[in-house]
Amino acid sequence: MAACTQCNLCKCPGAWTEAAEVRKVACNVRQFRDHVFTLWRCAGCGSLHCLEDADLPLYYEEYPLKKQKLTFSERIGYGNRLKLMERQGAGRADRVLDYGCGAGLYVNFLRRKGYTSVFGYDPFVPAYAGPGTLQAQYDAVVSYDVIEHEDNPGEFVRRLRRLVRPGGLLIIGTPNADHVSTARGGDPNLHVPYHRHILSERVLLALAREHGMEAVHIYRRSFYDSLIPTVNSRFMWRYISRTGGFLDAAVEPPDVSLVLRSPEMVLLAFGGYFWPRHDNILVTFRA
């Protein structure tokens, strides 16, 4: 991966040497907690960039989220994803590709829900790294929390667009740089060096338009947000912060006593849905 000294997302790119917002941020994966990177915000488009390059295959080798299981919380979040997808016209007979599927949890979730032609692709997971998956077109291509990991988001959108049949759907979920601050050093969205570029909403929409796609629906909160106690992004990110700030906590056995001892955590467990962070965006485009 290349160092990013100049914004590669907007028409009037800013440089990191001119950025008003620059911050050193430590990696929030426990194994690499001593690795520190520089985040800077483009003055032109508001997107955030990781300055230094990184050997991402090394960082992904023991990536915590590879250990994700289809837990109760995941089922609720995936159910919300599915509802949003179906509201835009996706159906069980459609060919669906989950690009950047990780361990394939959402692929298997859709299959259990009756989707008969669901495929997954992830270059860092051998079970889903087969290039043949990218030789077809799909009625719906979904990609959640992936574009911000890409070194060239514009090229990434172009690749995904080629996978969508005419009239099909492309759904991209990603952190929204408009509501992510480098001043919050423990913000899980910063997630360096994995997050190479965090896009502002206008940049994401502009990249899609460049490739002939228009947004038909914009959901400006985390798909994990629900009224079910503990299943909301405000609670989950605060829990991670209280347990040390490492993403590893998301896949480790929960510390129930930590929650019960904290009035703040109990409040967020039951009421976090009504206090959304607005730091994620999920956009449905039609080809």
Q: Is residue 10 part of a domain?
A: no
What gap in Å lies between CA 182 and CA 113, rounded to an integer? 39
- Kindly tell me if the per-residue pLDDT of 223 is higher than 60: yes
The model's confidence at residue 195, banded by pLDDT at 50, 70 and 90, is very high
Q: What is the pLDDT of residue 3?
A: 83
For the chain, what is the domain count? 3
Tell me the C-alpha to C-alpha distance, in Å, between residue 164 and each of 45, 99, 142, 167, 214.
27, 12, 10, 8, 13
Q: What is the pLDDT of residue 51?
A: 96
Contact 39, 25 (CB under 8 A): yes
Q: Are residues 150 and 69 in the same domain?
A: yes
More confident residue, 84 or 67: 84
Q: Are residues 91 and 197 in the same domain?
A: yes
Angle 173-177-178 (CA atoms, 0-180°, nearest 5)? 110
Q: Is residue 105 part of a domain?
A: yes
- Kindly tell me if the per-residue pLDDT of 180 is higher than 90: yes
- 96-122 pLDDT, tens digit per residue, is 999 999 999 999 999 999 999 999 999
Q: Are residues 204 and 255 in the same domain?
A: no
CATH of the domain at 172: 3.40.50.150
- Entry pTM: 0.93
Q: Are residues 97 and 116 in the same domain?
A: yes
More confident residue, 105 or 3: 105
Tell me what the pLDDT averaged over the chain comes to: 94
- Kindly tell me if the per-residue pLDDT of 1 is higher than 90: no
Q: Are residues 34 and 121 in the same domain?
A: no
SS3 at position 144: strand
Q: What is the pLDDT of residue 185?
A: 62
